[in-house]
Structures are given as structure tokens and as C-alpha cells.
Amino acid sequence: MESPAKIVIQNFTFQYGVFAALKDLNLSIGANQIFAILGPARSGKTTLLKSMNRLTDLIFGTSHAGRVFIDGREIYEPEVSLPELRRRVGMVFDLPTALPLSIFENVAYGPRFKGLRDKSRLEEIVEQSLQAAVLWDEVKDRLHSSGLKLSGGQQQRLCIARMLAMEPEIIMLDEPCSGLDPISTASIEKSLMTLKEKYTILLVPHNIQQASRVADRVGFFLGGEMIEEGPAEDIFTRPKMKKTEDYISGRFG
């Protein structure tokens, strides 16, 4: 069964000054699935993620045309609350590092910032978020030691847990496994499979193999254009476009 569309992007063009980093994009992303954004460097993948929660508003000289709807509401309307949008649409960048706080406080940071003081409720949120990020078992006995002492892969999952504690609906991960060993990568991929039951996930995969392991649907981007989009299996086994085939068979990128 097709899941209902969580994100609908219509004729969306995004510019840095006069340079169009995304060109006339039309795309629907269903709820509770992993949508992988595939493409070589500078194809517009990060720009697409950042324009879904308007992090791009922070960059001087940008402009857009077209529309983006989340649950049917246009996110570029002036009355949209940006803190609320960014809570609902969370993002973890590549190579994130923990805050210089304990593991517990790293995760409790967002709920505390929103004013939550109840100790047992905070403990509950911290445990649930660490469980969902598949980190709980590794850290439950040292929640009060520094988050900075964790390995790279653990810090990445800690940052995912911190985002989950904000109760997002859409989670965006930009090359979450760059620089990680295969075991940490496998842990992150395992957590994604569980997370999609509750969230809609936009993933810029670390490589093509990762996309083929975890993605439900894939969009292939090149030079700011979406060349083709479809079920992961189709994209990887019978792409319609020559450019997609060249990319997935490793002829460029």
C-alpha cells in the first residue's frame, strides 16, 4: 500500500544568488519510509535537505520559487513558525559531535530548553531516544560521563538521539556514516530501519551500497536536477535513465 504523502514539492527552484542549486523539482515523499537522495558531489542533496526546514534562510542571498508542503501546509508561508518547523523536521549533519556535556544532558538538552523540568519524564525521554537511536545498551551504565568520550559512531547516534528527543516527524540525515567503521555503520542502518516505523526519513546515503541496503525509494540528482525517482529496487536494477545507470554502475561520481 502506498503511504500518504508527507512532503510534496512542486516546481521548486532554489538559488544561491543567481546560481540555481535545485531546478524545477517535483517530488512527493511518503510517510514512514526512507527516501534516499543520491547523486555526486554538488548535485544539490544538502541544499534539498536544508530547504525542507528552511535552514537555508540563514544563508544570505538565497531565493526560491515553487512550493513545499508538509502535511498539506506550505512551509514558506510567512506565518510559519521556524522553531516549530525545525523541531518537526530535524536534521543531523555528517560528522556531528556531541555537546561538551554528559550523555544524559546531550539528549535532555532540547526538552530542557523547551522548559521540561520533571526529572522522571526527562529520564524517560532520554531512555526512549537512546533506545530508538540503538545506543542505549552501550551507554546505559555511564549516562553521566561525557558525550565527547564516545566513539565517532556513538556520537553520531547520540546526535540522532538528541534530535529524536525534540519529537520530530521528519528526520534528515546528511551522509550519516561518512568516516565510520562498518560496525558503527551497521548500527546506524539498523536504527534507521526501526525509526522509519515512526518517522519519515530523508537520507543522503554515504554511498550507493548504503542506499541499496536501507532505502525504500530513491531520487537520483545531478547538477541540481532530479533525473529519476522510484522504488529503490527499480533504480538499482532497472533504471530508466542512462545517467542513473552510469552513476549506479560507478561510471562517474
Ligand X SMILES: Nc1ncnc2c1ncn2[C@@H]1O[C@H](COP(=O)(O)OP(=O)(O)O)[C@@H](O)[C@H]1O
Please give the residues from 53 up to 112 whose contact with ligand X meets the rule CB under 6 A: 59
**Run of H or E residues at 161:** helix 152-164
Least separation in angstroms between residue 62's CB and ligand X is 8
User: Based on CB atoms, which residue is closest to Mg ion, 10 or 15?
Assistant: 15
Query: Other C-beta atoms within 10 Å of 23: how many?
Result: 16
User: Based on CB atoms, which residue is closest to Mg ion, 179 or 231?
Assistant: 179
Instruction: Give DSSP secondary structure letters for 120-148.
Output: HHHHHHHHHHHHHTT-HHHHGGGTTSBGG
Rounded CA separation 238/198 (Å): 30
Least separation in angstroms between residue 2's CB and Mg ion is 29
Burial code (b: 16+ CB inside 10 Å, e: under 16) for 31-66 equals: bebbbbbbbeeebbbbbbbbbbbbbbeeeeebebee
Least separation in angstroms between residue 60's CB and Mg ion is 19
Query: Is 185 one of the binding residues for ligand X (CB under 6 A)?
Result: no
User: Based on CB atoms, which residue is closest to ligand X, 98 or 222?
Assistant: 222
Which of ligand X, Mg ion, none does 39 bind, CB closer than 5 to 8 A by kind?
A: ligand X
Least separation in angstroms between residue 244's CB and ligand X is 15
Query: Is 16 one of the binding residues for ligand X (CB under 6 A)?
Result: yes
Query: Is 21 one of the binding residues for ligand X (CB under 6 A)?
Result: yes
Which of ligand X, Mg ion, none does 42 bind, CB closer than 5 to 8 A by kind?
A: ligand X
Pick the closest to residue 165 from 107, 93, 119, 97 (CA basis).
107
**What DSSP designation does 215 have?**
-
Least separation in angstroms between residue 175's CB and ligand X is 8
Rounded CA separation 88/168 (Å): 4
Which of Mg ion, ligand X, none does 111 bind, CB closer than 5 to 8 A by kind?
A: none
Please give the residues from 27 up to 56 whose contact with ligand X meets the rule CB under 6 A: 39, 41-47
Q: How far is CA 35 from the centre of its chain?
A: 9
Least separation in angstroms between residue 52's CB and ligand X is 12
φ, ψ of residue 34 in degrees (nearest 5) = -105, 115
Q: Which residues bind ligand X (CB under 6 A)?
A: 16, 19, 21, 39, 41-47, 59
